[in-house]
């Protein structure tokens, strides 16, 4: 077993070797610009992008023309939310539209909503229950005549809870409101099909599913649903005018290959990883009966374990366990030393939130690694440096 052990797959996943193999020729041999229409190098790049677009689309049950490539999920979220607001103003004449989202969303959504609020948009932030699930009935009641869109994360990046997307979709469609979902943690990990669960816009990323960083996608429904939408990046009209800029061909090829692998393997992978996750949790629970497991016990990602260690300092545990890669929460907010908004939203006190670790298993996690991590966590949780006395003094 190689150290350190990687248990932070919610932050990013390692590149699958099969994905790297597919990408390599587009760094060295087929390096053309996909927008170069006059020669073989450009044609090959464009053809490779077309293949990848189809692979990504098939993973979520979409049509290829409904996929817009971006630099990642954060850009996709910004494009979706800002694009809808500007579209509503420009094409529907709504100067002060209303949007609804959820308290446990990723900062890509929450911070974008704050920016939109400064521009006159009214945003409603819905609470969640103790497992992290939003109440679809409450969401329906929050919709007003001015509501243009709802944005709900499909699967939470900290506690792994899966939202009741079918119910939410039905409510939004019945009320004529657009539905966006940040499905970054869901795509390639659980069944996500935009025909079975109709959403209008969906953001996701390659590097959460064993693809490369720097490639993401926005699904934009085109089956007759009218979506007032305005591009946010101008300069050449790439991606059907919705997202200008030279395409990252190697990363897009890798995204497509990662999607193709997930399409073939994720059911088996989800079962294997859930067994390992249960082994990790049961081992820790048996040795440390006072720990708290966060999120839904039923509707959750197979690879996620969010565990609170009362009386311990999570940051001190991480420093002590340098041979294990885990986190205290979202990597995207790690630069801001504050209590997790997700853990606060499900009712954890500041003290308990600061005692919580997130374990993210993945495709390459082994049973040997699970046993090792469980043993190290159990040893570390009892170390004097992270016990209640020192914790309370911080």
Three-state SS for 327? strand
Retrieve residue 262's tokens.
């997930």
**Three-class SS of the chain:** CCCCEECECCCCCCCCHHHHHHHCHHHHCCCCCCCCCCCHHHHHHHHHHHHHHHHHHHHHCCCHHHEEEECCHHHHHHHHHHHHHHHHHHHCCCCCCEEEEECCCCHHHHHHHHHHHHCCCEEEEECCCCCCCCCHHHHHHHCCCCEEEEECCCECCCCCEECCHHHHHHHHHHHCCEEEEECCCCECCECCCCCCCCCCEEEEECCCCCCCCCCEEEEECCCCCCCCCCCCCCCCCCHHHCCCCCCCHHHHHHHHHHHHHHHHHHHHHHHHHHHHHHHHHHHHHHHCCCCEEECCCCCECCCEEEEECCCCCHHHHHHHCCCEECECCCHHHCCCCCCCHHHHHCCCCHHHHCCEEEEECCCCCCHHHHHHHHHHHHHHHCCHHHCHHHHHHC
Determine how β-strand 147-151 pairs with β-strand 98-102: parallel
Residue 218 to residue 62: CA distance in whole angstroms: 11
Residue 274 to residue 281: CA distance in whole angstroms: 10
Residue from 113, 123, 172, 332 carrying the catalytic annotation: 332
Q: Taking the CA atoms of the chain, what radius of gyration do you get in angstroms?
A: 22
Annotated active-site residue 123? The verdict is no
Q: Which residues are catalytic?
A: 332
């Amino acid at each position: 077993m190689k150290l350190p052990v990687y248990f932070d797959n919610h932050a990013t996943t390692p590149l699958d070797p099969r994905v790297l193999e597919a990408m390599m020729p587009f760094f060295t041999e087929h390096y053309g610009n996909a927008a170069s229409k006059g020669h073989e190098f450009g044609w090959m790049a464009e053809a490779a992008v077309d293949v990848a677009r189809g692979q990504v689309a098939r993973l979520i049950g979409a049509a290829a023309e409904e996929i817009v490539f971006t630099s990642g999920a954060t850009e996709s979220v910004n494009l979706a939310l800002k694009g809808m607001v500007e579209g509503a103003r420009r094409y529907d004449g709504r100067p002060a539209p209303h949007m609804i989202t959820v308290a446990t969303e990723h900062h890509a959504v929450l911070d974008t909503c704050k920016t939109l609020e400064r521009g006159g948009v009214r945003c409603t932030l819905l609470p969640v229950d103790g497992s992290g699930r939003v109440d679809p009935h409450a969401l329906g009641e929050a919709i007003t005549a001015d509501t243009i869109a709802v944005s709900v994360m499909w699967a939470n990046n900290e506690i792994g809870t899966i939202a009741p997307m079918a119910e939410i979709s039905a409510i939004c469609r019945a009320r004529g409101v657009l539905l966006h979902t940040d499905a970054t943690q869901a795509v390639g990990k659980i069944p996500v099909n935009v025909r079975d669960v109709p959403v209008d816009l969906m953001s996701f990323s390659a590097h959460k599913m064993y693809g490369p960083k720097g490639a993401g996608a926005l699904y934009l429904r085109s089956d007759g649903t009218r979506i007032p939408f305005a591009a946010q990046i101008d300069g050449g009209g790439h991606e059907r005018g919705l997202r200008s800029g030279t395409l990252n061909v190697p990363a897009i090829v890798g995204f497509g290959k990662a999607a193709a692998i997930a399409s073939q393997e994720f059911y088996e992978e989800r079962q294997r990883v859930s067994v390992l996750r249960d082994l990790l949790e049961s081992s820790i629970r048996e040795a440390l009966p006072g720990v708290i497991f966060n999120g839904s016990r039923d509707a959750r990602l197979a690879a996620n374990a969010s565990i609170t260690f009362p009386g311990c300092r999570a940051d001190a545990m991480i420093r002590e366990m340098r041979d294990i890669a885990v986190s205290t929460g979202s990597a995207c907010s790690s630069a801001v030393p504050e209590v997790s908004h997700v853990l606060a939203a499900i009712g954890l006190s500041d003290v308990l939130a600061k005692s919580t670790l997130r374990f993210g298993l993945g495709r390459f996690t082994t049973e040997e690694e699970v046993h090792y991590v469980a043993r190290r966590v159990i040893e570390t949780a009892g170390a004097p440096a992270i016990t209640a006395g020192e914790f309370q003094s911080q």
